């Protein structure tokens, strides 16, 4: 069942989302060759608690850490470890928070040092597809319109759209209805309405869309070993239009990137 949020609930969701946004901004300034994902995980946990929230993933479905850290061919749900990041890696960082009973949940794929042009393009296209999907989050549209926009764009580059993992409604639970696949058909699926809050999160592989899972029961990786990217935002539908609750601005401040990509999603 889809839970429609009140204006007050949406403000609480925004608060939780912003804690994740700031955490990812802090992480952005710490990512460099030689740093371990476990070290970054500890920094994130401390940062979230210092901001009066709890890590949203730690213990959720028994996940052991604060961040999902998925380098290179890992798609999502990678477990932080003591292996140092290397120059040329990419690292997808997914972070959750819980404050006032509401969850925040978003993700960004970072470059470590100098990354190949081909991989940079995968990151660029995946992030662009996130915004194409968000643009379809209008009252009266359907879930399939969002998935179609993401799939149509990313497949035009020959990339693979992961099928088994999808975006989702967000609220007092990390994963609420509706499921928001990154693939779909125009005009199909549940109708989008004012007051819905969702996480849109394209997981896009450079090669095949097929994935495998490691024996740790968590880590998802591409079947062909090629890199994968993951970007995620939290969005509310307000006045019929998508409004971003999360922001990448803290990441961009840390990395010295100028961007106006979020402006059309502010009301
Ligand atoms: Mg999510
Ligand atoms: Mg996430």
Spacing, Cα 168 to ligand 1 middle (Å): 6
The pLDDT score that the predictor gives to residue 32 is: 98
The pLDDT score that the predictor gives to residue 236 is: 98
The pLDDT score that the predictor gives to residue 148 is: 98
Other Cβ atoms closer than 10 A to 188: 12
Mean pLDDT by 10 residues, the chain (267 residues): 97 98 98 98 98 97 97 98 98 98 98 98 98 98 98 98 98 98 98 98 98 97 98 98 98 98 95
Spacing, Cα 199 to ligand 1 middle (Å): 5
**DSSP state at residue 78:** P
The pLDDT score that the predictor gives to residue 267 is: 86
Spacing, Cα 168 to ligand 2 middle (Å): 9
Domains of the chain by start residue, with CATH: 7-265 (3.90.230.10)
Rounded to whole angstroms, the Cα distance separating 60 from 257 reads 33
Spacing, Cα 56 to ligand 2 middle (Å): 10
What φ, ψ does residue 223 adopt, rounded to 5°?
-70, -30
Spacing, Cα 236 to ligand 1 middle (Å): 14
Spacing, Cα 76 to ligand 2 middle (Å): 9
Helices (H), the chain: 7-30, 37-50, 117-135, 143-155, 249-255
The pLDDT score that the predictor gives to residue 229 is: 98
């Amino acid at each position: 069942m889809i839970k429609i949020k009140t204006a007050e609930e949406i403000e609480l969701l925004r608060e939780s989302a912003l804690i994740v946004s700031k955490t990812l901004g802090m992480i952005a300034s710490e990512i460099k060759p030689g740093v371990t994902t476990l070290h970054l995980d500890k920094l994130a946990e401390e940062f979230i608690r210092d901001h009066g929230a709890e890590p949203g993933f730690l213990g959720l479905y028994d996940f052991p850490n604060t961040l999902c850290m998925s380098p290179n061919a890992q798609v999502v749900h990678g477990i932080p470890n003591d292996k140092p990041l290397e120059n040329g890696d990419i690292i997808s960082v997914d972070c959750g928070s819980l404050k006032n009973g509401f969850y925040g949940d978003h993700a960004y794929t970072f470059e470590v040092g100098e990354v190949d042009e081909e991989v940079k393009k995968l990151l660029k296209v995946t992030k662009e597809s996130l915004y194409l999907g968000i643009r379809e989050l209008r009252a009266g549209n359907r879930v399939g319109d969002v998935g179609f926009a993401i799939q149509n764009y990313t497949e035009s580059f020959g990339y693979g759209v992961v099928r088994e993992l999808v975006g989702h409604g967000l609220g007092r639970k990390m994963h609420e209805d509706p499921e928001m696949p990154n693939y779909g058909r125009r005009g199909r699926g549940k109708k989008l309405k004012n007051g819905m809050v969702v996480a849109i999160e394209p997981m896009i592989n450079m090669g095949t869309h097929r994935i495998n899972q490691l024996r740790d029961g968590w880590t998802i990786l591409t079947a062909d070993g090629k890199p994968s990217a993951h970007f995620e935002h939290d969005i509310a539908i307000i006045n019929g239009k998508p409004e971003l609750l999360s922001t990448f601005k803290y990441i961009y401040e840390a990395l010295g990137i100028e961007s106006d990509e979020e402006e059309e999603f502010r009301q």
